[in-house]
């Protein structure tokens, strides 16, 4: 059964964050809060962990379109081809926030993502998620956990998440109730912003 770790978003305990980071470093899977829904994630450089998530989601790793959770925009050049000023301005206005931006990937993508032409980047407005990425030193892959109930597409209660997912992951973080609306996905890979999915983030930023 997964470890259930309480972390407060307004003041994440460095000790608890370090505990979760050490699980990620060993290839563990975690469920953690973001500024939208709870996410299932692992270290983006760990193939075995990525394969486990793909199995849980019932897809092949090569076909997975998962977002990278970053701590801020400084990691961007590690994985994204050079972007123009207009694109950078949109990112700067929107992040941290409830958006996923699809951007052109570069040659430094981790080996399991090498064939991807684009990458989804998130900088959530959630201090727990960002503290985990900072502690790990590279992004966490993220995919939302869906609820079987069509009415409530995303599970929001950490205790219910533990009940349902506890046998599949190593840590469930209790960061309080999550939302049940996913991020707004905007494709910036072709220059002109294209809305792929309207979610929590307002489109006024565009």
Local confidence band at 205 (pLDDT 50, 70, 90 cut-offs): confident
Please give the residue range of the domain that contains residue 185.
3-205
- Confidence band for 80, pLDDT divided at 50, 70 and 90: very high
14-25 vs 127-136: helix crossing angle, rounded to 10 = 50
DSSP state of 73: G
Residue 143 C-alpha from the chain's centroid: 6
Question: What CATH number is attached to the domain comprising 201?
Answer: 3.90.870.10
- Give me the pLDDT at residue 177, please: 96
Are the C-beta atoms of 140 and 69 separated by less than 8 Å?
yes
Could you give the number of structural domains in the chain?
1
Q: Tens digits of per-residue pLDDT, 20-38?
A: 999 999 999 999 999 999 9
Please state which of the ranges 52-66, 145-159, 171-185 shows the lowest mean pLDDT. 145-159
Residue 104 clears pLDDT 70, i.e. is over it: yes
Q: What is the pLDDT of residues 133-171, one digit of tens each?
A: 999 999 999 999 877 776 677 889 999 999 999 999 999
Give pLDDT, residue 85.
92
What percentage of the chain has pLDDT greater than the value 90? 82
Mean pLDDT, rounded, of the chain: 94
Q: So what's the pLDDT on residue 150?
A: 65
CA–CA gap between residue 26 and residue 29 (Å, rounded): 9
């Amino acid at each position: 059964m997964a470890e259930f770790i309480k972390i407060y978003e307004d003041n994440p305990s460095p000790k608890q964050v370090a505990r979760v980071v050490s699980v990620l470093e060993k290839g563990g899977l975690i469920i953690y809060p973001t500024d939208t829904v709870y996410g299932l994630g692992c270290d983006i450089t760990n193939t075995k962990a990525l394969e486990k998530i793909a199995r849980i989601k019932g897809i092949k790793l090569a076909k997975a379109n998962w977002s990278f959770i970053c701590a801020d925009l400084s990691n961007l050049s590690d994985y994204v081809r050079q972007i123009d000023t207009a694109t950078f301005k949109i990112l700067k206005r929107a992040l941290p926030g409830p958006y996923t931006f699809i951007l052109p990937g570069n040659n430094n993508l981790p080996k399991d993502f090498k064939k991807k032409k684009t990458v989804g980047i998130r900088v959530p407005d959630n201090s727990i998620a960002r503290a985990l990425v900072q502690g790990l030193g590279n992004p966490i892959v993220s995919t939302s956990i869906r609820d079987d109930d069509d009415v409530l597409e995303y599970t929001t209660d950490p205790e219910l998440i533990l009940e349902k997912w506890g046998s599949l992951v190593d840590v469930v973080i209790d960061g309080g109730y999550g939302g049940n609306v996913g991020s707004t996905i905007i494709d910036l890979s072709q220059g002109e912003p294209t809305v792929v999915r309207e979610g929590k983030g307002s489109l006024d930023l565009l």
